[in-house]
Structure 1
Amino acid sequence: MTPAASALDIRGVGKSLLAEYRKAANTQTKIVDLFLAFIVATGVLQFLYCALVGTFPFNSFLSGFFSCVGMFALTVSLRLQLSSEKNVEKAFGEYTFCCLLLFFVVFNFIG
């Protein structure tokens, strides 16, 4: 198989995967997935800034980066709970409480 043929095959798999995702996922799941992508982008930008500019306020960098990691973990947990559709209100309540707790810890770590 030539490299061009394998690239076309990978594009076809990607297109079919995206079409199936759009068809199968509900609106809540898509919104949560977009928020997850935003969290990842924010974490990557913070890491690049730290690598390029420097780490002078190191506690601030650690707080921001661990905030992204914590929010990602909590949001993945919310996505898993929303996909099971057992009790959506309870899932959002737990997510909100855990996010507030995470932000409290992050703000205290900053100083």
Structure 2
Amino acid sequence: MPSKRPSATPSSSSAPAPSSASSSGTSTPLPTLSSGPKTLSANSSVSDIAIHVWQQYLTTTPQRTMLLDAFMAFLVLVGGVQFAYCVLAGNYPFNAFLSGFCAAVGQFVLTASLRMQTSSSEGVSSVGKGKVGKVAVAVAGRAEGADGGISHER
């Protein structure tokens, strides 16, 4: 597999690499791949923005975080179905609706908290420079593994 990094020679960075000779005998340059993600222009459509955000989510989000996101979407669906049933069919056993809906909302909040703890965050050091920031860094430092990340057990 060819390397995606440019070679160290200065002449190769200024000119694109030629492709194999075509049938007419002239060579055409290959299009170069950009190293960064595709950027959106100021007048991009809503669908382009949505597709770009979705593609970035799929490429940059770890599998465990996607699993938590899918579970949170399921909890939103369950809460929505319970609320719609309460509105359409009536709320005769109101305690049953209330307990089911509160359980879905509570599980969503707990899962969101788990997602925040397990996702890679760079914001620990930017909490603040006061006493609270030092405590937050100290607490985060206790939970980190040997490689600097959050341990699997957490």
In the superposition, the TM-score normalised over structure 1's length comes to: 0.71
Q: How does 1:10-29 map to 2 (within 5 A)?
A: 10-29=46-65
Equivalent residue in structure 1 for 2:85, among 35, 49, 72? 49
Q: 1 or 2 for the larger relative contact order (CA 8 Å, sep ≥6)?
A: 1
Unaligned runs of 5+ in 1: 1-5, 91-111
Give 1:60 shift: 0.5
The C-alpha deviation readout for 1:64-107, integer Å capped at 9, x for no partner, is: 000011000000001011114523323xxxxxxxxxxxxxxxxx
Distance 1:26 1:39 in 2: 20
Unaligned runs of 5+ in 2: 1-42, 121-148
Amino acid at match of 2:48: G
In the superposition, the TM-score normalised over structure 2's length comes to: 0.52
Look up the match of 1:63: 99
Let me know the Cα RMSD of the aligned residues.
1.5
Please identify runs of 4+ aligned residues in structure 1 that moved more than 4 A.
none
Preserved CA contact (<8 Å) 1:81 1:88: no
Q: Percent identity?
A: 40
The C-alpha deviation readout for 1:39-70, integer Å capped at 9, x for no partner, is: 00000000000000011111100000000110
Q: Is 1:89 the counterpart of 2:153 in the alignment?
A: yes
Distance 1:89 1:25 in 2: 20
Is the partner of 1:89 in helix, strand or coil? coil
Tell me the matched-pair count: 84
Amino acid at match of 1:9: S
Distance 2:110 2:152 in 1: 15
